[in-house]
Amino acid sequence: MTVPAASRTAGLRTRLTLVVGGAIAAVSVMVLIIAPIVGELRRETRYAGTVIAQVEQDVAALQAAAIDQETGERGFLLTRREEFLAPYEAGRVEADRRIEALRASSIEGLPDAVAEVDHALERWRVEAVEPEIALAAAGRDPGPLILQGEGRRLFDEVRTQLEALGSTVRAESEAARDRIDLTLRHLVTALLVVYGFGATVCLAVWRLLRRWITVPVERLLGEVERVSAGDFEHPIRIAGTSELVAVAAATDRMRHEIVDRLQEANRAREALEQRAPAVVALREELEPPTPTLPPGLEVVTRFDPVEGLLAGDFSDVLVLGDGRVAIVVADASGHGAPVVVRALRAKHLLSAALVSGRSPADAFALVAPQIGEGAGWFVSAMVLVVAADGTVTWAGAGHPAAMVRTPSSPEIVELASTGPVLGPVPGPWEQRTARFPVPWLALVVTDGVLEARDPQRRMFGEEPLRARLAALDPAGPGAPALLVSDLGEELRRFLGGQRPTDDVTLSAVRVGGRAPAGAGSPT
C-alpha cells in the first residue's frame, strides 16, 4: 500500500510541540544556572548590609565608650568633682552592652577578639582606674600611683585590643566585598553564557520555523501565483509538513475544479455566442431611447435587471409633436426571459398609443385589453407628459407615485397612481394635470427600489428617496444625473452585498432647467 506524503511527513504540530518543549527546557536550564548565583548574591549582600554593618557600628561605639571612660576618670582625678565620673560610668555601661552584642556575632574570630578587649578593659579598670579613683575620693593624692604609668600602659593595651578587634571586622568586611565581587563576576559570566545559549536557541528556532513554515509557504505561494498567472495545467505540489502538504493538495484540487468549471464556462460561452446578439438587442429595446429633447427638459434613467441582461422593467422617452415629452416607467410581472417578450410588447403598445396623440389615460385604456389577453400577468406603469413651461399631465396604473421637488420648497409633492394595473383588472384610469414653478425635479421608480431589503430584512422604502430628492437643488448642475447616481449608490450600500430581489429602475426628470452640454440623452 502506498503511504500518502502527508502521513510520511512529521506534522507541524508535532514539530512545534518539540520546539516549544525544547525552548521550555532551555529556559529551565537558564533558570537553574542563574537562580543559585542570584541567591548567593542576595545572601552576601544581606550579610554585608546587616551583620557586618551592625558589627562595625558596635565596634565604633565600643571604642567611643572606652575613650569616654578614660576621659571621665582623668577629669575626676584633676577636679575631684563627682559629676566628672558620669562619662566614666556611662561609658562603662555602654561598653558592657556593646561587648555582649559583639559576643553574639557569627563572624569568625570575632568572639575571641571581643574577649581580649573585655579582658584588657577589665584589667585597666581593676588595676588602675578603680585604685586611682578610690585614692582621690578618700582625699589622698593619686599622683604617685599615676606616675608609675601602670594606668597608661593598661589603657594602651585596651587601645591595642580595640585596634585588633577593628582589624578583624575590617578583614571580614573586605572578605564579604570580595565574595560579592566574585558572585557578581559569576553572575555576569552566567548571563553571558545564558545570552549566548538563548541567542543560539532563538537562531535555531528561527531556522526551523523558516524551514518548516516560511519556505514551504513561499513555495506554495509561488505555485499558486503561477496558476493565477494563467498556467492552469501546472500542478500545485510542495514538500513540507503534513499540514502544508495537505493545504497544497486541497489547493490543487481547487485548481482542478476551477479548470473543470472554466471549461464548462467556455463551452457555455461558445453555446451562447450565437444567441448573444438577440439578448443584447432585447436589452436595448427595453432601455429608454436617446432622443434629442426640447430645450428645458432633461431625463436620466438607471436600469438594473435582477438577473443577467433582461428584465421585466422597461422605460421610454417619447418626443411628442407639440414639443412635449412623454416619460414611461413600467414593470411587467415576473422575471427572466419569458417576461421580456411581454414587457417588450407592452412597451411598444404604450409607445404607439402615446405617439399617436392619445392621452396617458386613453393609452392605458387602449393597451390594457391587449395585455389582459395573457392570463396571469400584468403591467404597472407611470406616464408623465411634461412641457418646458412646467406643466405635467400624468396617469398611473398601479405604480408607485412619482415624487416632485419644486424650487420653492423642499416639501415633496406626490403624483399618485390614478387606476389599477394594466391586465386582469378593467379601468377606468384617470389623468391629472398640474403646473409647478420651474425648474422642478421629478423621480419615478419601480417597486424593486421600494421593496429592496437589507441583510436584516429591513425595507428600503420611500424615505431615502424623499430625503435625497429634498436635499437637491432642482436648478443645480446635473441634478437629475446626481439624483439617480446617489440613489443607486445608497441602494447598493443598503443591500450590503446582496443582489436585489427585483429589477431596479430609477428615472429623474427635470423641467425648466438648463441642460448641461451634451444633455438630452437619458442614461
Question: pLDDT of 267-305, one tens digit each?
Answer: 555 554 444 454 544 555 556 667 888 998 999 999 888
Q: Which residue has the higher pLDDT, 255 or 54?
A: 54
DSSP structure class, residue 308 = S
Question: pLDDT of 346-401, one tens digit each?
Answer: 888 999 989 998 999 999 999 888 875 655 678 999 999 999 999 999 999 999 99
Residues 6+ apart with CB under 8 A from 444: 327, 329, 382, 384, 400, 402, 403, 506, 507, 508, 509
Question: Which three three-digit cell numbers place residue 78?
Answer: 584633676
pTM of the full structure:
0.49
Q: Are 518 and 336 in contact (CB under 8 A)?
A: no
Tell me how far the alpha carbon of residue 272 is from its chain's centroid: 47
- Residue 216's nearest CA partner among 17, 15, 22 is 15
302: three-class secondary structure by DSSP: strand
Strand partners for 445? 506
pLDDT at 173: 85
Q: Parallel, antiparallel, or unpaired for β 379-386 and 391-397? A: antiparallel
Question: pLDDT of 9-27, one tens digit each?
Answer: 567 778 888 888 888 888 8
Question: pLDDT of 135-152, one tens digit each?
Answer: 877 778 777 777 777 888
Backbone dihedral region of 40: left (phi > 0), alpha (psi from -120 to 50 degrees) or beta?
alpha
pLDDT at 509: 95
Question: pLDDT of 464-493, one tens digit each?
Answer: 999 999 999 999 999 999 999 999 999 999
Distance, in Å, from the CA atom of 401 to the CA atom of 419, rounded to the nearest integer, reads: 12
- Percent pLDDT > 70 in the chain is 88
Give CA separation, 407 vs 196, 432, 476, 510, in Å. 81, 21, 10, 11
Distance, in Å, from the CA atom of 350 to the CA atom of 396, rounded to the nearest integer, reads: 13
pLDDT at 264: 65
Please, which pLDDT band fits residue 89 given cuts at 50, 70 and 90?
A: confident
Q: Which residue has the higher pLDDT, 310 or 113?
A: 113
Question: Which three three-digit cell numbers place residue 360?
Answer: 396617458
Helix 215-228 vs helix 242-273: crossing angle, to nearest 10: 10
- Residue 383's nearest CA partner among 370, 369, 393 is 393
Question: Which three three-digit cell numbers place residue 152?
Answer: 597608661
- Residue 450's nearest CA partner among 499, 397, 501 is 501
Query: What average pLDDT does range 204-213 have in this prediction?
Result: 86
Averaged confidence pLDDT in the chain: 83
